[in-house]
Amino acid sequence: MSDCTHDCSTCGQDCKERIAPQKPQLNKNSKIGKVYAVMSGKGGVGKSMVTALLATLSRRIGKSVGVLDGDIIGASMAKSFGIKEKAMGCDKGILPAETVTGIKVVSMNMFLKDESDPVVWRSSLVTSAVTQFWTDVYWGDLDLLFIDMPPGTGDVALTVFQNLPVDGVIMVTTPQELVSMIVSKGVAMTKMLNIPVVAIVENMSYYQCPKCQEKLNIFGESNVDNIAKQYGIEQVVKLPIDRLLAAACDNGAIEYAEEESLSSLVERL
């Protein structure tokens, strides 16, 4: 075009001179095998706990593991792993914190003066921070990187799915019918972007009486198997309501949790 300004960001024309935007590159000193995003359609379903447990179980079977806390506004990974130190850097990039078992973690709380300080940012800053956790953090060599996503299908989800090499999504839900409907939207989004959902994890699926071992459906009958069948998702994991597991997250001791329900999923990642 004769009046082309060569600034494609301000132009809506579909011309042959248009330059495709460059995807953010992983920190040049790092190498990551596979990347999995842990996603939920809404908040409060235990997505972050599932992320921390997946990382913990992966580390137990000898894999080198990292956790990128993509929930910038509601960051919780540092607390789940008992990380207190602030972020530091070296000539290779930002240094992730390392847990007692060797899991590498980057979370927004590591950049705040106090972990209770709010992050009052517009979405452009939030998505930029998530991208920088990919480009600027010196992850080293990892077999697996888990991304703890914020709830929903908004800007961060689009940024991660369109710009990072995500190998698959692990969808987290609870038994309520309303939550299942929202999960269907999340699964549909990943399908639109050609990213496979490798498993659905139904958290708080049931409560098992410690005396008689009867399983009680506190939040109603599960519908997760029907959703998995509808979308062709092969693996479904049902996690019980477990006060000890919740306490482990709250106390920064998730690596000591004894819950093994996700082990079969971890072995396939």
Q: What is the DSSP string of 95-138?
A: EPEE-TT--EEE-GGGGSSSTTS-----HHHHHHHHHHHHHTB-
Structure confidence at residue 219 (pLDDT): 81
| The amino acid at 179 | V
Report residue 98: phi and psi, to 5°.
-125, 130
Maximum CA pair distance of the chain? Answer: 80
Q: How many CA atoms lie within 13 A of 129 on its CB side?
A: 23
**pLDDT tens digit string along 139-168?**
999 999 999 999 888 899 999 999 999 999
pLDDT in tens, the chain (269 residues): 556 655 555 565 666 555 556 789 999 999 999 999 999 988 888 999 999 999 999 999 999 999 999 999 999 999 999 999 999 999 999 999 999 999 999 999 999 988 889 899 999 999 999 999 999 999 999 999 999 999 888 899 999 999 999 999 999 988 876 666 777 888 889 988 999 999 999 999 888 888 888 888 888 788 888 888 888 898 999 999 988 888 998 899 999 988 888 999 999 99
End-to-end CA distance of the chain: 48
Structure confidence at residue 168 (pLDDT): 96
Structure confidence at residue 212 (pLDDT): 87
Pairwise CA distance, residues 265 & 240, whole Å:
16
| The amino acid at 258 | E
**pLDDT tens digit string along 17-38?**
555 567 899 999 999 999 999 9
Q: How many CA atoms lie within 13 A of 45 on its CB side?
A: 31
Structure confidence at residue 159 (pLDDT): 93
Q: Which of the 8 DSSP states describes residue 79?
A: H
Pairwise CA distance, residues 135 & 23, whole Å:
10
